[in-house]
Chain A
């Protein structure tokens, strides 16, 4: 049992990571397209449009991730805090701070949740708005300020450590092993620091002597990333599967490596794939004594080939292909096993439910309840696999904070009335003294603490009243959620 919970925890963490990245893949692709097309080395250079590249990767993408991360923890309120705190990380560091956003976003959301938990129920009626805005403002300002001071030095330290690591390895002549540092560093967006800070200068020296250098190939080899993206194209699920082929084109032909970083970030096990791919690529390069005459930038296959000196083509091409093949093979195994594990897990959760005859609290978290209303059925299935956390992420209140439970449906004349009376009945039996009313979604009272809706309408209700806890039910007549809520309130009320 302990094993299962550890696995569940790891998996929840994994779905958390992908929950932060996945909804924003569109933004990554937009940025990748703009970059591949319009930068000076791009396909149709355009100075004006290229000005989008920097701000998008520095600000837009990390802020989106920070917001999404905060939102996963504490809904919109958490999202806003996540974005504010991420801004501190961005300003504090000189490189695009994806990892920082992935840490600070959820952390800020969590901090807000803690503070709200401590204060919100003590706020006098009429002051809620004032409290809500200023508590978020003050906490946000504090977190952003802290980030500015702490993150800069942290990133610099990390960059220096990695850089000297690579330098040592290169000095010792163990080039393939450099991938162990280079590939993870790329994912952390430290690639340029390493490539242009260490590898390029050393490479230029070598090239001046020998006319070429293998060091130019260490970081710019598009093979490992290509392998991961191809693996997603074949064995991924949902959005990650359908977006991966496009991302592969941007990465391999356009040379915008950043596009595959989010795919690795959401399944950290994939680092193994890119590292192994990198090692085998570099090993092949050294075996064939291949090199380039200058740093290919961006790291597109075309740029690589354009800079390959005569006679070195077999080595360069083979190195890229082998790197891609190895990374593909390992990534496939990683994706397939994690998929099987997920299936195991939900099957186990189902069995547990069957045995108990109703949904238990623990299994409720493992059973995805996608937001069917907004994305439609097909999308919902994608969400179910990619974004398990999203629906579970809304604030959950304690009995202490719950003064009013409202059942809502479209017109407030049918379903909600029936649901409300059933829940009222349950509360009465459990001797819980909390009023349950029903209403149309458009008339949801602002002071409702818990809102119950049919699963198709939950998104509308959330949009109307984001600060409330939302419970989504499928079977109004006999929902396990009623008993869950009643039990929760009873236990906490005592």
Chain B
């Protein structure tokens, strides 16, 4: 039985995170605890961040592993963390929404593309940061036309 790519347990709201390294660890740890990846995946997430920032713009960062980290992935999953205070992702980029990604196949692409379209509107960013329950986030990310 395949796990859902995104479930309530993968969402953490209003977390205070001091720095980028901690942000990556935190988003990765959710995926480890959910049984999506092994612990080695987090190191690969740091490697990927070294290579090029996963900061995407519009307060959104999507920490994930490198190409060769796919062997550390048991099942495809994503984690969502909101950080209203923001985390410095370097070069003056402040991330407030962190999406941890573990991709094995293409199952997550649909939800990821929803996230992209939702987050490309600044007003939705505000909505996400003001969300008070995990369900709100689930709804926002799944109900795109």
Q: Is the CB of A421 within 8 A of B108?
A: no
Q: Is the CB of A421 within 8 A of B117?
A: yes
| One of A308-316, A385-393, A471-479 contacting the partner | A471-479
Q: Is the CB of A413 within 8 A of B108?
A: yes
Counting CB contacts under 8 A, is B119 at the interface? yes
Shortest Cβ distance from residue A471 to the other chain B in the assembled complex, whole angstroms = 15
Counting CB contacts under 8 A, is B126 at the interface? no
- By a CB distance below 8 angstroms, the chain A residues around B65 are 411, 413
Q: Is the CB of B103 within 8 A of A477?
A: no
* In-complex Cβ contact of A411 among B48, B58, B115 (8 A): B48
Q: How many residues of B contact A (CB 8 A)?
A: 29
In the complex the two chains form, what is the Cα distance from A456 to B52 in whole Å? 6
Counting CB contacts under 8 A, is B24 at the interface? no
| One of B14-22, B66-74, B130-138 contacting the partner | B66-74
Counting CB contacts under 8 A, is A454 at the interface? yes
- By a CB distance below 8 angstroms, the chain A residues around B57 are 474-479
Given known contacts A475-B56, A477-B57, A420 and B113 CB-to-CB distance under 8 angstroms: yes
Q: Give the contacts of A389-426 with B (CB-CB under 8 A).
A: 409-415, 417-422, 424-425
* In-complex Cβ contact of A422 among B52, B69, B116 (8 A): B116
Q: Is the CB of B116 within 8 A of A421?
A: yes
The residue on A at minimum CB distance from B60 is: A477
Shortest Cβ distance from residue A299 to the other chain B in the assembled complex, whole angstroms = 48
Counting CB contacts under 8 A, is A322 at the interface? no
Shortest Cβ distance from residue B29 to the other chain A in the assembled complex, whole angstroms = 18
In the complex the two chains form, what is the Cα distance from A474 to B93 in whole Å? 11
In the complex the two chains form, what is the Cα distance from A410 to B53 in whole Å? 11
A428-461 toward B: CB 8 Å interface, digit per residue (1/0)? 0000000000101010000000000010110000
In the complex the two chains form, what is the Cα distance from A449 to B119 in whole Å? 27
In the complex the two chains form, what is the Cα distance from A477 to B57 in whole Å? 5
- By a CB distance below 8 angstroms, the chain B residues around A415 are 54, 56, 62
In the complex the two chains form, what is the Cα distance from A418 to B111 in whole Å? 9
- By a CB distance below 8 angstroms, the chain A residues around B54 are 414-415
Q: How many residues of A contact B (CB 8 A)?
A: 28
The residue on A at minimum CB distance from B76 is: A413
A453-490 toward B: CB 8 Å interface, digit per residue (1/0)? 01011000000000000000011111100000000000
A112-141 toward B: CB 8 Å interface, digit per residue (1/0)? 000000000000000000000000000000
B101-145 toward A: CB 8 Å interface, digit per residue (1/0)? 111000011001111110110000000000000000000000000
In the complex the two chains form, what is the Cα distance from A75 to B8 in whole Å? 49
Q: Is the CB of B58 within 8 A of A418?
A: no
Q: Is the CB of A410 within 8 A of B113?
A: no
Q: Is the CB of B103 within 8 A of A414?
A: yes
The residue on A at minimum CB distance from B100 is: A414
The residue on B at minimum CB distance from A424 is: B113
Q: Is the CB of A477 within 8 A of B58?
A: yes
Counting CB contacts under 8 A, is B96 at the interface? no
Shortest Cβ distance from residue B28 to the other chain A in the assembled complex, whole angstroms = 13
Q: Is the CB of B113 within 8 A of A417?
A: yes
In the complex the two chains form, what is the Cα distance from A440 to B69 in whole Å? 13
The residue on A at minimum CB distance from B58 is: A477
Q: Is the CB of A425 within 8 A of B58?
A: no
In the complex the two chains form, what is the Cα distance from A457 to B70 in whole Å? 19
- By a CB distance below 8 angstroms, the chain A residues around B62 are 414-415, 418
Given known contacts A454-B52, A475-B56, A414 and B117 CB-to-CB distance under 8 angstroms: no
The residue on A at minimum CB distance from B115 is: A418
Counting CB contacts under 8 A, is B2 at the interface? no
B43-64 toward A: CB 8 Å interface, digit per residue (1/0)? 0000010011110111010101
Interface centre among B48, B56, B115, B119 (most CB of A within 10 A): B56
Given known contacts A417-B109, A477-B57, A410 and B120 CB-to-CB distance under 8 angstroms: no
- By a CB distance below 8 angstroms, the chain B residues around A420 are 113
The residue on B at minimum CB distance from A425 is: B117
Q: Is the CB of A410 within 8 A of B116?
A: no
In the complex the two chains form, what is the Cα distance from A413 to B67 in whole Å? 8
* In-complex Cβ contact of B112 among A417, A442, A474, A477 (8 A): A417
- By a CB distance below 8 angstroms, the chain A residues around B112 are 414, 417-418, 421
* In-complex Cβ contact of B103 among A413, A419, A421, A442 (8 A): A413
Nearest 6 pairs of A and B residues by beta carbon? A421-B113, A475-B57, A413-B103, A418-B116, A456-B52, A477-B57
In the complex, given contacts A373-B52, A474-B57, A477-B57, what are 15 additional A-B residue pairs having Cβ atoms less than 8 angstroms apart? Answer: A411-B65, A413-B102, A417-B112, A418-B56, A418-B116, A421-B112, A421-B113, A440-B67, A442-B67, A456-B52, A457-B52, A475-B58, A476-B57, A476-B116, A477-B120
A-B contact list, 25 entries, CB within 8 Å? A409-B52, A410-B52, A411-B66, A413-B65, A413-B103, A413-B108, A414-B62, A414-B101, A414-B103, A415-B56, A417-B109, A417-B112, A418-B112, A418-B113, A420-B113, A421-B109, A421-B113, A438-B109, A454-B52, A454-B53, A457-B51, A476-B56, A477-B56, A477-B116, A477-B120
